[in-house]
Amino acid sequence: MAKEAVRVLVTGAAGQIGYALVPMIARGVMLGPDQPVILHMLDIPPAAEALNGVKMELVDAAFPLLKGVVATTDAVEACTGVNIAVMVGGFPRKEGMERKDVMSKNVSIYKSQASALEKHAAANCKVLVVANPANTNALILKEFAPSIPEKNITCLTRLDHNRALGQISERLSVQVSDIKNVIIWGNHSSTQYPDVNHATVKTPAGEKPVRGLVKDDTWLNAEFITTVQQRGAAIIKARKLSSALSAASSACDHIRDWVLGTPEGTWVSMGVYSDGSYNVPAGLVYSFPVTCQNGEWKIVQGLSIDEFSRKKLELTADELSEEKALAYSCLS
């Protein structure tokens, strides 16, 4: 019997990530090749015409899995009955700006959309915040939607995770699919800590640690880390626009693994509400290694954290605490 359609909200759907993301969802990249979807697309009134153009293109593409499209500038209509919400709407960082610069505009959007989601989304709706500052927008959404369980609100650091895989793949000339268990700790910002201490590569002789194969701790402890931390800025410099296709693809990876599960022995990075694991202060949305099963994520426990890593985990936590305080000052 055909599955019932899942309603997926994309906010900021007329923007560049939205334009890359909605066809991926309609093709089954996010929820699987046998899962029908109904797309809900929200944008603001100045983008209404462009949004309608995206809707026209979705109709023209005749996606077999796409069972309906709602394109609207009304947050209530957009949020009604949605099972999954991908929150992309907001203002992107331009060249020379830090994420903090987009803070005041974006956190107030997340405060107001929190209540629309809380009141009108389906029970157990899963929320992924993409718009920057992603961790802090997710935190604001969580705090202003108290009836949505905190485990249902996450932010995107899978793009950083995938960037780390890409860098290791290029360095070792191995397939990304043979590398696993890199970790992004902390903020989706230049203080994030891409950690390869537990990462391995599948080789004909079995699984080998990335550190042993790279054989260059200087590169792994310096250039690799800054390349991943600064990749968003490098894309902005090159394209004069922030990353879009990689962000959209990583958002699909995030939701797919959350809903359908992570493979045995493999974890991924997700920004989730901290419970104090690894001495990260509770009450921040922080990127951790997680496994997913039956639609729920769980922080991987018991990984050894050396002194070098501990300092980096703390630095990015400190930035998130500062962002949280700044966000509240913008909202008051």
Q: Which residues are catalytic?
A: 188
Known binder of ligand: residue 13? yes
Residue 13's identity, in one-letter code, is A
Phi, psi of 299, rounded to the nearest 5 degrees: -70, 130
Token couple for 16: 């560049």
Task: Tell me the C-alpha distance between 39 and 72, whole Å.
Answer: 11
Which residues are within 8 A (CB) of 221 and not within 5 positions of it... i.e. 6 or more apart? Answer: 308
Which residues are within 8 A (CB) of 267 and not within 5 positions of it... i.e. 6 or more apart? Answer: 180, 181, 183, 289, 290, 291, 300
Q: Which residue has the tokens 């046998």?
A: 34
Token couple for 30: 């996010």
Mask 125-164, x = binds ligand LMR (CB under 6 A)?
Answer: -------x--------------------------x-----
Residue 30's identity, in one-letter code, is M
Task: Tell me the C-alpha distance between 190 and 301, whole Å.
Answer: 25
Among 55, 93, 254, 324, binds ligand LMR (CB under 6 A): 93
Q: Does 243 bind ligand LMR (CB under 6 A)?
A: yes
Q: Does 47 bind ligand NAD (CB under 6 A)?
A: yes
Which one, 201 or 320, has the nearer CB to ligand NAD? 320
Known binder of ligand: residue 131? yes
Known binder of ligand: residue 47? no
Listing DSSP states for 46-95 in one string gives: GGHHHHHHHHHHHHHHT-TTEEEEEEES-HHHHHTT-SEEEE--S----T
| From the list ligand LMR, ligand NAD, none, partner contacted by residue 235 (C-beta under 5 to 8 A by kind) | ligand LMR
Judged by CB under 6 A, the chain residues 112 through 141 that form the site for ligand NAD are 130-132, 134
Which one, 107 or 201, has the nearer CB to ligand NAD? 107
3 state DSSP class of 318: helix
Stretch that binds ligand LMR, among 177-185, 207-215, 230-238, 318-326 (CB under 6 A): 230-238
Which one, 26 or 228, has the nearer CB to ligand LMR? 228
178 in Cβ contact with 200 (< 8 Å): no
Among 5, 44, 50, 235, binds ligand LMR (CB under 6 A): 235
Which one, 200 or 274, has the nearer CB to ligand NAD? 274
Q: Which residue has the tokens 């969802």?
A: 25
Q: Does 256 bind ligand NAD (CB under 6 A)?
A: no
Among 12, 28, 36, 186, binds ligand NAD (CB under 6 A): 12
The full length of the chain comes to 332
Stretch that binds ligand NAD, among 88-96, 118-126, 168-176, 203-211 (CB under 6 A): 88-96
Q: Does 232 bind ligand LMR (CB under 6 A)?
A: yes
Which one, 40 or 99, has the nearer CB to ligand LMR? 99
- How do 296-299 and 285-293 pair as beta strands? antiparallel
Binding footprint of ligand NAD on the chain (CB under 6 A):
11-12, 14-18, 42-44, 47, 88-90, 92-93, 109, 130-132, 134, 156, 159, 188, 242-244, 247
